[in-house]
Amino acid sequence: MATDLATELRVLRPDEWDTWYDNLIRAFGGVPEPGEERDLYRTLTECGRSLGVWDGDMCVATAGAFGFRVTVPGGAAVPAAGVTMVGVAATHRRRGLLTSMMRRQLDDVRSWGEPLALLTASEPGIYGRFGYGAASFQLRADIDTGRAGLSVPAGTDGVRLRYAEPADAADAADACEAVYARLVPGRPGMLARRPGWERLGLLDVESLRGGASPLQCVLAERGGEVTGYARYRVKPVWEDGGPEGTVELAELGALDPLSDAALWRFLFGIDLTSRLSLRNRPVDDAWQYLVSDIRRCRTRQRDSLYVRLVDVGAALAARTYQAPVDVVLEVEDAFCGWNAGRWRLSGDAKGAVCERTSDAAGLALSVRELGAAYLGGVPLTALAAAGRVRELRGGALAEAAVGFGSAVAPWLPHGF
Ligand SMILES: CC(=O)SCCNC(=O)CCNC(=O)[C@H](O)C(C)(C)COP(=O)(O)OP(=O)(O)OC[C@H]1O[C@@H](n2cnc3c(N)ncnc32)[C@H](O)[C@@H]1OP(=O)(O)O
């Protein structure tokens, strides 16, 4: 542990940001970020919520915590610390610096009154010990658009598509943001946009394009209103047998099924391309139910958003339950002992209460499993089958598993 080191853990001062960020970049391999990206993260860093560990004048560890609001089942926007920029200098690794930052950070998040902490992990093995569970997944696909066709619903032809300048506020950017804002309450895991974050999806640095085009944008319109957008790049490939270009989707949002289908049909059909590459879509994305051959789409999933309940009572009361639940949970939380013990959760689709109780428990689980199940994307029954949730009262598991589920899969549209 860190006790053998003369290190100091403290809140980041704005004038220390460059040194602090350089340590982070080095922890991630040392390849400098393009200036635009670095400038954006400089602007977005919330220094008063960020931590650094210093060994003399050397920064040797970093961790930040954005002040987000995340959609939970039922549609509420719950305050959540977006844990980010975690890095420990390789010279100081495995001496407990990460653990000391996680300790301080979760204490801080609790004192800020934020019931949740969120993160995306560079490696899945790091954060379980601190009570984070993988709660949402991203769908990835490499679609052979030469073989997999798309049959769209009647009425799709009535959607007008037009090219727009992605970063131009008047042309496209504001309209895309408006669509995004309307989608946020409808899907657990989505983050209400904070000022400046709209720039992330518009970053378009040539050195990061890997030979693909600049970012392109197509808007879907119905009745003169923008009802959807797609941002993508095209990477031309010229084979002896003909053109085999790839469409790389960056982002797509649509307010209704026809606009959604029109945008997917467009992406499937761009001339001189035969592949559509998706790296982060919801696991229940609708296009999967329009394709003629899902095997040619090479779909797979990857862990995405990790959730940590910082305040079990407040977090469980902040979401709704799709079927009535009345269950006592015996919660184990070795890292944040204030959560440990028995909680009675009573709730339904309208709201919930979660309070301390001494009644007998129906389910026993750790806070990590609660985090995994919290957004409705990981069934408690599956966690029980894995031995991670124990049923102590007959019927409690089925009742809680149905209640905790979500009709819409949780999804985090972008990293942070
Ligand atoms: C939200 C984000 O920003 S994700 C980005 C995370 N950062 C990176 O991946 C950058 C490269 N890696 C690093 O900077 C560091 O190796 C870190 C941050 C992952 C770990 O920092 P350290 O200070 O070495 O961790 P610390 O010494 O506190 O380790 C605590 C425990 O976690 C374990 N651990 C640390 N890193 C890992 C890992 N990558 N995989 C699995 N276990 C790990 C340690 O073995 C230790 O276990 P123990 O308590 O059983 O002994």
CATH of domain 309-404: 3.30.1050.10
Domain 2-114 matches domain 309-404 at the CATH topology level: no
Per-residue pLDDT of the chain (416 residues; tens, 9 = 90+): 444 568 999 999 999 999 999 999 999 999 999 999 999 999 999 999 999 999 999 999 999 999 999 999 999 999 999 999 999 999 999 999 999 999 999 999 999 999 999 999 999 999 999 999 999 999 999 999 999 999 999 999 999 999 999 999 999 999 999 999 999 999 999 999 999 999 999 999 999 999 999 999 999 999 999 999 999 999 999 999 999 999 999 999 999 999 999 999 999 999 999 999 999 999 999 999 999 999 999 999 999 999 999 999 999 999 999 999 999 999 999 999 999 999 999 999 999 999 999 999 999 999 999 999 999 999 999 999 999 999 999 999 999 999 999 999 999 999 99
Nearest to 338 by CA among 112, 144, 107: 107
**Locus of tokens 């602090």:** 20
Nearest to 227 by CA among 267, 191, 193, 182: 182
Strands 306-309 and 300-303: unpaired
Alpha helices, DSSP H, located in 296-341: 312-318
Instruction: Evaluate: CB of 126 within 6 angstroms of ligand 1.
Output: yes
Catalytic residue flag (residue 416): yes
Is 251 flagged in the annotation as binding? no
d(CA 80, CA 245): 40
pTM for the whole structure? 0.97
Instruction: Evaluate: CB of 30 within 6 angstroms of ligand 1.
Output: no
Query: Long-range pairs for 212-216 at CB < 8 Å and ≥24 separation?
Result: 212/246, 212/248, 215/166, 215/167, 215/250, 216/163, 216/166
Catalytic residue among 21, 127, 137, 268: 127
CATH of domain 2-114: 3.40.630.30
Instruction: Evaluate: CB of 308 within 6 angstroms of ligand 1.
Output: no
Catalytic residue flag (residue 306): no
Q: Nearest residue CA, atom 37 of ligand 1?
A: 126
Whole-angstrom CA distances from 338 to 58, 148, 315, 363 are: 34, 52, 14, 19
CATH of domain 139-301: 3.40.630.30
Whole-angstrom CA distances from 88 to 18, 34, 218, 250 are: 15, 22, 41, 30
**Does the predicted interface ipTM exceed a cut of 0.95?**
yes
Instruction: Evaluate: CB of 159 within 6 angstroms of ligand 1.
Output: no
Q: Nearest residue CA, atom 32 of ligand 1?
A: 126
97, 98, 304: residue to mutate for ligand 1 pocket, most atoms within 8 A of CB:
98
* Domain locations along the chain: 2-114, 139-301, 309-404
